[in-house]
Chains A and B, each alone.
Chain A
Amino acid sequence: MASLPGRRDHGAAGEGNATKIPFRYCERVHGDRAFTDRKFMPRQFEQPIDVPDAFALENVIQERGGRRVLAGVTIGLPKGGFSALIGPSGAGKTSLLRLLNRLDDPTSGVVRFLGQPIDDFPVRALRRRVGFVFQTPAMFPGTVADNLAIVSTLGGNMAADASMRVADVLRLAELGADFGERSAADLSGGEKQRVALARALMTGPEVLLLDEPTAALDPEIAEHLMHTLQRLRESTGLTIVMVTHRLSEARFTSTYAVMLEAGRVVEAGPSARLFSAPVEVRTREFITAGEGGTDHG
């Protein structure tokens, strides 16, 4: 089993032993703490099993330029899970994702990471535990190896094993070992996104946040990246939270899904259930429209 370099805490999920639980979130419930509005929790799933939340949001409101992009979001995202945030554009998916490693802070409400208010963690240390892959990967100057090695210099104490780590993350991101010498600026969109993924893995994160990582990619390349993420999660126990507008992608890769619209949670639950038997009319309409049409939300 591959292990992510520098990992602090792998958690129980996805370690490959008897406790491995992908797709087993079906019976999980957020508990009263995380879920005040019971309407979103269908009764047949209220059998709590003890999977802690990686993130819990409580009545989170986010305003941007006078507009309310998140209008009171209360939700939990399972540790060790692959959560997909879905919904029409402007629903607040990216705004929500950016709260999870404090690229932004909410206007009001509480965001918890592993049960603690997220601003209890020193922000830079938090970001090294919670990686972020952007929709448009911004490459740093130099080669792919430069892009990866520089991460070690940002935090201070990890410079020593940088080259070993570079080889590790190239392998985890399923980039060939010879990629290190390529110029980052000359890569294709799909390759850049993999380099961005590898770069995020350099800090040895416990969580990976991905903001529409496949938005600019061809379907085949997008699918390949999704498989990489699945394998990565299975081999390392990473918690993944991904914003996506490709519903098929969300359906087949995620274990947990959150449907957002107009800054509110419409419905949340295990992907296996949410995509096959959505409770809310809006979710059903959204999924039907997305699958009948062009794969766009």
Chain B
Amino acid sequence: MAEPPVDIGWAQLAFASALILVAIALSAWQRLGLGKSLAVGAARAVIQLTLIGYVLAWLFNTNRWYFVLGVLLLMTLTATIAATDRQSGAAQAQRRLRPICFASILVGSGLTLAYVGAAVVDVTPWYNPRYLVPLFGMIVGNAMNCAALAAERLQSEMEAGRGQIEAYLALGATPQQASAEPARRATVAAMIPTINALTVVGVVSLPGMMTGQILAGSSPTLAVRYQLVVVFMLTAAAALTAAGIVLWYRRTFFTTAAQLLPRVTV
């Protein structure tokens, strides 16, 4: 690193928090009624980030592979809950979705991270939390959105396509053949935001990680190369996660005798 970043002390942070007051004042002036939400949101951000700061500091100091893996699993679990909680549809559908979602995010993000850790960034030791945790955080966050979209879309396509799916089944098709079209549409829908992000990166959006790295004193070209690694990771993990969700989740719509289960009612 060329130069160390400017330090931010508690006093500086207090000045920064005045920026939230601007938004709160605006809300009061325009009677938006957002004051309370803004205050609670800001407080939550402070508490959550402070805590995670201490957790990361502790994780970097202890530097044990099992703690690192535990944190990665916890991140996957949190992402799973966030992705499935947003699903409409009945609790029954959500229960059968959870394990599939967890496995898909874990496998999709885990494989991607393992590949990058082994072949690209050359992390030593292999569990070095300074690399694994931030990288995993970014790809899990993206995989989470992708999983939520894939599941949501598959659910609605399977409902809308009941007539066609049963028409296929009645002709002796396998459930896989019968649900090929809903599965294809769900996968495409889940991938579109990731592909869009890939298209506009550096033009419309300057990714947080890259700007952070530049602020921290890294050379812009190195920061760009890191960012490229990250967007490739995001894409691979999203594709793997979407594929996992679509392949496994759609099986739960059928019985072992290739019958389409009745509509799940709320």
Interface residue ranges, A against B (CB under 8 Å)? 64-65, 101-105, 119, 123-125, 127-128, 131-132, 134, 136-138, 140-141, 151, 154-155, 196, 199-200, 202-203
Contact = CB atoms under 8 A, between A and B. Distances in A.
B167 A64 contact: no
A103 B181 CA distance: 20
A123 B258 contact: yes
Contacts of B173: 124, 154
A123 B257 contact: yes
A155 B172 contact: yes
Which of B164, B169, B265 has its CB near the most chain A CB atoms (within 10 A)?
Answer: B169
Contact of B257 (A105, A200, A203): A105
B259 A105 contact: yes
The 9 closest A-B pairs by CB, nearest first: A132-B170, A138-B163, A128-B172, A138-B164, A154-B173, A138-B167, A124-B172, A127-B172, A123-B257
A65 B257 contact: no
A199 B166 contact: no
Contact of B172 (A65, A125, A134, A140): A125
Contacts of A102: 257, 259
Contacts, number: 62
Given A140-B164, A200-B171, A65 B259 contact: no
B168 interface: yes
Nearest to B163: A138
Interface string B147-174: 0000000000000000110111111111
Contacts of A202: 171
Given A127-B170, A154-B172, 12 more contacts: A101-B170, A102-B257, A104-B259, A124-B172, A127-B171, A132-B170, A134-B170, A138-B166, A140-B168, A151-B171, A154-B177, A202-B171
Contacts of A196: 167
Nearest to B162: A138
B183 to A, nearest CB: 15
Nearest to A128: B172
Interface of B: 163-164, 166-174, 177, 181, 255, 257-260, 262, 265
Given A138-B164, A140-B164, A131 B170 contact: yes
A34 to B, nearest CB: 24
B258 A65 contact: no
B211 to A, nearest CB: 45
Contacts of A119: 257
Contacts of A155: 172
B160 to A, nearest CB: 11
Nearest to A131: B170
Nearest to A202: B171
Contact of A103 (B164, B174, B177, B259): B259
A203 B172 contact: yes
Nearest to A125: B172
Nearest to B265: A65
A132 B22 CA distance: 66
A115 B176 CA distance: 31
Nearest to B257: A123
Contacts of B171: 127-128, 131, 151, 154, 199-200, 202-203
Contacts of B265: 65
A3 B258 CA distance: 30
Contacts of B258: 123-124
Contacts of A123: 257-258
A134 B257 contact: no
A154 B265 CA distance: 31
Given A65-B265, A123-B258, A134 B163 contact: yes
A103 B169 contact: yes
